[in-house]
Structure 1
Amino acid sequence: MSATTSVPLLRRVTPGGWAATAWLAGLLFTVLLRVRLPGQEEADVMAGVVILRWDGITMLLLATALALYGARLLSRRPAAALRHLLAAAVVGSTPLGVTAIPMAQYLAVDVALYVIAAARPPREARRALLLALGVLVAHLAVRLLAGWSVGTTGALAVALTAAVAWLLGRSEQQNRAHAARTRAQTAAQAVTSERLRIAREMHDTVAHSMGIVALQAGAARRVIDTRPEQARQALAEIETASRETLAGLRRMLGALRTGEPDAAEPPAADAGLPEMPGLAALDRLAEITAAAGVRVAVHRVGAPGPLPQDIDLSAFRVVQESVTNVVRHSGADSCTVTVDHRDPEALLLTVEDRGRGAAPERAPRHDGTGYGLVGMRERVTLLYGEFDAGARPGGGFRVTARLPLPTGATAP
């Protein structure tokens, strides 16, 4: 159940790093267009007069400085970064002798538009797009007013790439928002399903206890006149069963929310296990898991004592779900289950493995947002216990749960 933590190389590059790379790549492309490369009779674009002079080189250096500074600001102050990158595009285009801002000088702006559209609020993202398109229009307007030729087609192509970059950023933001809503709904559904399952199990527990009460009450009524000692024993058993049932109800039902049974998935069948399993069924669980290819070593520490049925059942469910996660996600061929009875006030459960780890998108998460961890955490919380799940220092994954015991629940 251990999750890998390596980050893909491309994801390590910051947005500012991508913007700086885009500017330098565009600058290199601009230079290559104006140089005769091997196999060419002449360069694709004739170099302007200004670019070959000191003032042209100075403007290119100034534009590069503006672009790199804007790239540095992109993560912290994206609006200011965009303004610097736009200024760099205008300044860098001036010595090139072109009729419109070339696409190569707008690549860094496209990166900034994508970042802003993907990470910033919609209103700010729209302002960024309007500013980027407005600079292109203003550049054409200035040339028209000055009586110079304009490259309307080239400007339209640059505007189209800017709009596409912005739309891709908005799509990324909407995908992330949808994924977050889906995770929240899945977690909420997991909590609701687990609580409904607990409610059904509690119903079975109460029905079993009330059946015992009814039988003992009938027996006591029949022998109360002829055999008072047996009647007294039956009444004592009625009292014990009633107290245990009421204690379990107080611990669990008070925290359960009302839900529609039809809205939840039915609980998975526990093949080969008792209908209401407890810690006594751990050996059977180990046999079933071994058949799935994972050996389970069960260690019991301390002297086991009688447990209330709700705590016994919840402890088994926590171990069962943890072992299931080992089988599905860890890649380990064995795990260890430890049941510690030494503390008279609480039952301590530990399930750990030395797995290689699952893919990040499938691995259980320490914050409890994985489907199985949600159910375990919810079940333990309803019993006022403590739950923790995370990577082991030496590798692998560990789940621990501490379930408080009511007074007198364990054997002295």
Structure 2
Amino acid sequence: MHPRAYVRGPTRSELRIPSIGGMEATLTRPADHRFPSAVMSWVVLAAYPLAISLAVAFGTGPNITGPATVLPVLVLALPALLLPRWPLVGFAGLLLGVVGLAPLNITGVVGFAQAVVLDVAVAYIAATRSRLATAGAVVSTLVAEAAAATLYLNADQSSSYVNVLIALLLGVVVAWLAGTAVRQRRDYRTALLTQAAAEAVTHERLRIARDLHDQVAHSMGVIAIQAGVGRRVIDTQPEEARRALDRIETASRETLAGLRRTLVALRRSDSEPATTATTGLAELDQLVATTEAAGVRAQVRIEGEPRVLPPDIDLAAYRIIQEALTNVVRHANTENCTIIIEYGLPALTIEVIDAGRGGVDSGTGYGIPGMKERATLLGGELTAGPAPEGGFRVHATLPVEPA
């Protein structure tokens, strides 16, 4: 496993989500504004020469004027460069640096910079490594800094020794808390991405299920009715049986064409332009003809000025009418129904009314729940139930933004 896999997860800008029907979907990550780890290591490294310069300027380090002291300081600072790629190795090198510089009796700012740099490394490990690695880094840092303080301070400086230990402890604790906060924020962000991916999969599955149900259910209802008609009249009215077979063939071809369009749309990537027409109210006449072939004559009434609708509204309106007509054919036991489409603002209103026996407004089927889902997802609403004057009524309102 890559050493950064614990925190970063997928290293690309897209998060893979489970496949749907053999296809793999992706969820694009938002832009990552984290502070680059390589820049951080250079900042850490720059603290050493800066500390040396300050110590020389203010005279806080009497033994740092010669190369014999400056070079070891710079060499022991090099492990900071390993933090981005090998954090634990770089951290171990910095630990050795803290302990190794103590016998050189380098005082003041340089010693302080050593502790600060090690604390920064602790924060980096807490933000990018596991909790076990973080605990090891915190404990080893406390031990190393305490050892360095013991080597540096004299026995008669007991009060200063306690104060130094307290300061070192506070520095490590602050670094650990800061790194842990960064890691928790990153874990929370990853959890949100994972949750969004799972929700995207669920929504896509529901959308596919609704489309397949609406396409297949209507045509299969027509086919079932025409097959029954053909079987009953095949001996006495062969011409009528032949017409029933023709209607079955037409409905089957339309269903296959619709399924083919759906599969093409599912296989097409987001970057490819759409090559197939979107289903909508423009195909309403064909839907009415298919319904009439099943034995139900649908009268269409248009109110308001027809206009071009957004694709999602257009598709939802068509599918709702299609499913409502399917229910009429299957359950209403009537030969007539009325479709009312009102182009209003700020909503498109759809009504499908029949004068049959009426159906129940609930059950184990997916037709009415699917229609309600379509309307709700677009910010609209749908009601379906027995009409006061008899029969069954489906009423949907789909919001349409004014042009």
* Aligned counterpart, 2:243: 233
* Aligned counterpart, 2:389: none
* Aligned counterpart, 1:180: 190
Q: CA deviation at 1:100?
A: 11
Q: CA deviation at 1:134?
A: 0.9
The superposition leaves residues 378-403 of structure 1 with CA deviations (integer Å, 9 ceiling, x where unpaired) of: xxxxxxxxxxxxxxxxxxxxxxxxxx
* Aligned counterpart, 2:42: 17
The superposition leaves residues 89-119 of structure 1 with CA deviations (integer Å, 9 ceiling, x where unpaired) of: 3444555564998432222212221222222
Q: CA deviation at 1:318?
A: 7.9
Matches within 5 A, 1:12-411: 13-34=38-59, 45=60, 47-48=61-62, 50-52=63-65, 54=66, 57-68=67-78, 70-92=79-101, 94-95=103-104, 98=107, 102-142=111-151, 146-148=155-157, 150-220=160-230, 223-238=233-248, 241=251, 308-313=257-262, 315=264, 322=270, 337=273, 339=275
Distance 1:72 1:99, change over 3 A: closer
Unpaired segments ≥5 residues, structure 2: 1-27, 278-403
2:275 alignment partner, SS class? strand
Distance 1:7 1:225, change over 3 A: closer
Distance 1:340 1:208, change over 3 A: closer
Query: Does structure 1 conserve the Cα–Cα contact (< 8 Å) formed by 2:123 and 2:176?
Result: yes
Percentage identity across aligned positions? 34
Q: CA deviation at 1:190?
A: 0.8
* Aligned counterpart, 1:283: none
- Distance (Å, rounded) in 2 between the aligned partners of 1:21 and 1:220: 89
- Distance (Å, rounded) in 2 between the aligned partners of 1:126 and 1:119: 13
Distance 1:185 1:223, change over 3 A: same
- Distance (Å, rounded) in 1 between the aligned partners of 2:49 and 2:134: 25
Q: CA deviation at 1:62?
A: 0.5
- Distance (Å, rounded) in 2 between the aligned partners of 1:192 and 1:7: 26
Query: Does structure 1 conserve the Cα–Cα contact (< 8 Å) formed by 2:52 and 2:110?
Result: no
- Distance (Å, rounded) in 2 between the aligned partners of 1:206 and 1:338: 23
1:339 alignment partner, SS class? coil
- Distance (Å, rounded) in 2 between the aligned partners of 1:175 and 1:9: 11
- Distance (Å, rounded) in 2 between the aligned partners of 1:242 and 1:308: 9
2:36 alignment partner, SS class? helix
The superposition leaves residues 253-273 of structure 1 with CA deviations (integer Å, 9 ceiling, x where unpaired) of: xxxxxxxxxxxxxxxxxxxxx
- Distance (Å, rounded) in 1 between the aligned partners of 2:196 and 2:32: 25
Q: CA deviation at 1:168?
A: 1.7
- Larger relative CO (CA 8 A, sep 6+): 1 or 2? 1
Q: CA deviation at 1:175?
A: 2.2
- Aligned CA-pair RMSD: 3.9
Q: CA deviation at 1:64?
A: 1.6
Between structure 1 and structure 2, the one with the greater Rg is: 2
1:162 alignment partner, SS class? helix
Query: Does structure 2 conserve the Cα–Cα contact (< 8 Å) formed by 1:114 and 1:165?
Result: yes
- Distance (Å, rounded) in 1 between the aligned partners of 2:270 and 2:109: 63
Runs of 4+ aligned residues of structure 1 deviating over 6 Å after TM superposition are 3-9
Equivalent AA in structure 1 for residue 275 of structure 2: V
